[in-house]
Structure 1
Amino acid sequence: MTDDLLQAVERYTRTQVAADGLTQTSLPGLTLVRTPAPSKLEHALVRPLLCLVLQGCKQVSIGTTEHRFTAGDSMLVSSNLPTLSRIVVASAAAPYLAVAIELDIPLITELTLLNPDEPITQIERAQAEHELKDAVRRLVQSLDRPHTFAALKGSLLREIHHWLLMGRHGEGVRQLGLPDSHVRRIARAVTLIRSDYTQTLSVTRLATAAGMSRSAFHQHFRTATTLSPLQFQKQLRLIEARRLLQAGGLTASRAAFEVGYESISQFTREYSRLFGLPPGKDRLAARRR
């Protein structure tokens, strides 16, 4: 089954893949990845998603924890987390191949409330992993059949989320579905930071959005994201500034002002600390690549 999924992704991405290695499909939130060589380190703030690695190897650091994902592994990002990642095993003959699916939080909430929180045996969890990959395989294979895809995509996404709840990632996914869980409360604050990241946001405003006291908010925010709210906003600004520099062709000073910085020297210092190069040199390096 995994081989069938691998072949489906390999076939679909052979002609569809973009320069960055990502194939955005007609289903929002479903991305296929194909990279023919090891990559450099990339910073990103990742929304809740499931990633199935089918070929090659990817190294991902979240906070102080480092993970390596190889063929057959599944990675769950259960909250809006800053990640540092790079593909470490890939070649033209055997490119890195993966499937990424953004999680549908309202759907998880619905399925969480439908399913009682009963213990799941190891045998059941193993079966859920098998069924999850089979559902992803059928979803990817339907991309080449528009009528079938239009008819089945909703039920297949629902099935994928169901098996996620039943599998080894179930507890982390379930926390996303509980309306009053700490994960969901922090997610409300993260949504506010994402929408207003260029503005100065007080901790009081963020804590209010999360429905927590300031002290509880600080504690749970760091637990969920590995960063303080200020650090989180700073990384979001710098990652967006880098995107503007490399894709939008802006100058460093214009990019800094676009994301909310008032001091160019502070922007340059913090940009260099995060990405290893000052903005101008980093943009030139990206153009050479």
Structure 2
Amino acid sequence: MSDALRQVVNHYTRTHADAAGIAPTPVPGLFLVRGTAPGGLEHIIACPLVCLVLQGRKQVTLGNRDLSFASGDSMIVPAAMPTVSRISEASIARPYLSFALDLDPSVIAELDVVIDGAEQPVLEPPAVIDNHLRDAVLRLVRLLDRPASLAVLGTSLVREIHYWLLLGEQGEAIRRLGPPNGRVRRIARAVALLRRDYAQPLTIERLAREAGMSRSAFHQHFRAVTTVSPLQFQKQLRLIEARRLMLAEGKSASRAAFDVGYASVPQFTREYARMFGLPPAKDRKYSNEEALPGAWTVADDVSR
């Protein structure tokens, strides 16, 4: 991994990262991450994105696969998929550092016209960050504290990053995001509705209409793209947000349960314990005592 890229991300996150280690940036969909110690499990439903590990190591469960990403590795999350991850290698002297960028399907579709026909092997993550991609990322991160330059060059650099990703080892997985009428884009419309109205009752019929599919086709394609059913997807969105309300805002378990759409606190408690490994009260107690990272919000997931 390039020392120059590590140094610039280290400097930016040291001065901009919040208590959870997330450093927001002026570039939509781009954030940098810093961790100074191995952390607890984080449950998220991320948008399609690329994550480049620049230092340290991270363990990720994506779908039914357990993956380990070390310095110099890249990971593609090809759709809105539930993931469980933890920083497994980090210290104050050598913090975990990563670069994460939402993938833009419209840019992918546009670029794919230009490079259509290029051979793209389908490889399992992780993949090695190549020199072209690393150079484009370095140039973009160097502009984050130069707003005037970023306003002129930022969009073209994000586009260039997409271009090198499409030409790289994981290009085939990324290419599937692009077609406007492809199943990934159509399922994404239903996912957007689920993210927006996760606390409300949503029928399969309404979600299928949003995706422009029949009920049976929608259910099949939704599971194929996200690895879970629509009901499981909504349940995980609710539980992730409930955990944030409890840990970050201090709400009671019953209040958080009702806020995210649960009508039964006992049902909420059972499903919470099944997902996070502890019932709500114990999870909050241990998280406060051990300063475990809080859950990401549904709003965070939408932006990322």
| TM-score, normalised by the number of residues in structure 2 | 0.89
Matched, 1:181 2:190: no
Shift of 1:137: 0.7
Larger relative contact order, structure 1 or 2 (CA cutoff 8 Å, min sep 6) = 2
What is the rounded CA distance, in whole Å, between the counterparts of 1:8 and 1:2 in structure 2? 10
- Contact 1:128–1:166 (CA under 8 A) maintained in structure 2: no
- Local SS of the residue matching 2:143: helix
| Structure 2 counterparts to residues 12-91 of structure 1, below 5 A | 12-91=12-91
- Aligned match of 2:248: 247
Q: Deviation at 1:62? A: 1.3
- How many percent of aligned residue pairs carry the same amino acid? 57
Q: Which structure 2 residues correspond to residues 63-212 of structure 1 after superposition, within 5 A?
A: 63-119=63-119, 129-212=130-213
- For the residue of structure 1 that corresponds to 2:31, the secondary structure is strand
CA contact (8 A) 2:121 2:169 kept: no
Which residue does 2:296 correspond to in 1?
A: none
Determine the C-alpha separation between the residues in 2 that align with 1:121 and 1:63: 21
Give the corresponding residue for 2:301: none
Cα distance, 1:15 vs structure 2: 2.1
Distance 2:198 2:117 in 1: 37
Deviation at 1:145, TM superposition (A): 2.4
User: Residues of 2 paired with 1:146 and 1:80: CA distance?
Assistant: 30
C-alpha displacement of 1:105: 2.2
Q: Distance in 1 between matches of 2:129 and 2:84?
A: 29
CA contact (8 A) 2:52 2:129 kept: no
The one-letter amino acid paired with 2:153 is L
Note closer, same or farther for the CA distance 1:120–1:174 as it changes in structure 2 (3 Å cut): closer
Q: RMSD in angstroms over aligned alpha carbons?
A: 1.9
Q: Deviations over 1:223-275 (max 9, x none)?
A: 11111111111001000111111112211111111111000110011011111
Unpaired segments ≥5 residues, structure 1: none
Q: Show CA shifts across 1:93-115 (max 9, x none).
A: 11111111111222222222343
Distance 1:153 1:237 in 2: 34
Of 210-219 and 49-58, the range deviating more from structure 2: 210-219
User: Which contiguous aligned blocks of 4+ residues in structure 1 show a shift greater than 3 angstroms?
Assistant: none
The letter of the residue matching 1:268 is T
Deviation at 1:128, TM superposition (A): 8.9
CA contact (8 A) 1:112 1:178 kept: no
Q: What's the CA shift string for 1:42-72, capped at 9, x where partnerless? A: 1111111110001111000012211100000
Is the CA contact (8 Å cut-off) linking 2:120 and 2:171 kept in structure 1?
no
For structure 2, which runs of at least 5 residues remain unmatched after alignment? 292-304
Letter in 2 for 1:220: H
TM-score, normalised to structure 1, is 0.94
Counterpart residue number, 2:284: 283
Hey, what's the Cα distance between the residues in 2 that align with 1:114 and 1:177?
Answer: 13
Against the structure 1 CA distance between its residues 131 and 90, is the aligned structure 2 distance closer, same or farther, given a 3 Å change threshold? Answer: same
Measured in 1, the distance between the counterparts of 2:183 and 2:234 equals: 19
* Structure 1 residues 59 and 120: alpha-carbon distance in aligned structure 2, compared to 1, 3 A threshold: closer
SS for the counterpart of 2:39 is coil
> Structure 1: which amino acid aligns with 2:267?
Q
C-alpha separation between the residues in 2 aligned to 1:55 and 1:115? Answer: 32
Structure 2 match to 1:274: 275
- SS at 1:198 equivalent: coil
2:43 counterpart SS class: strand
Aligned twin of 2:232: 231
Q: Which segment drifts farther, 126-135 or 4-13?
A: 126-135
Per the alignment, in what secondary structure is the counterpart of residue 140 of structure 2? helix
